[in-house]
Amino acid sequence: MIDRLKPLATPGNPWFGSAGELVAMAYLKQGRKELAGPLFAAIAKDEDVPQTLRSRTRQIAGQLGYDAVVDVDETLAEMREDAGAPAAPAAAPAQ
């Protein structure tokens, strides 16, 4: 499965998110966390991937020890939106 989906699991490909998630899960099943984690993180950071998929892969990447958050404030706002909570105001710049 990895060999067949890998060409689709590249950034810029319209199938990157879906194919990448499947490839990363297959890597996990093989015990290859060092390949799965960076792939999950790349999917989570890709603005062209649907938000639900980005959120899911961000969580998995984090559990594997890979940082998948580009902008912490933006990510927190997205999480609040997903949970239906009002967005927090932006923090004032430090002086």
- Angle, helix 33-45 to helix 51-63, in steps of 10 degrees: 140
pLDDT digits (tens, 9 = 90+) for 17-72: 999 999 999 999 999 999 999 999 999 999 999 999 999 999 999 999 998 876 66
Nearest to 65 by CA among 47, 41, 44, 43: 41
Q: What percent of the chain has pLDDT over 70?
A: 84
* Residue-level pLDDT at 50: 94
* Side chain identity at residue 45, one-letter code: K
Extents of the domains making up the chain: 2-71
Query: What pLDDT was estimated at residue 67?
Result: 86
**Terminal Cα distance for the chain, rounded:** 53
As a whole number of angstroms, the longest Cα–Cα distance in the chain is 53
Q: Is 69 left (phi over 0), alpha (psi -120 to 50) or beta?
A: beta
CA–CA gap between residue 29 and residue 81 (Å, rounded): 32
- pLDDT given for residue 89 in this prediction: 55
pLDDT of 88 > 60? The answer is no
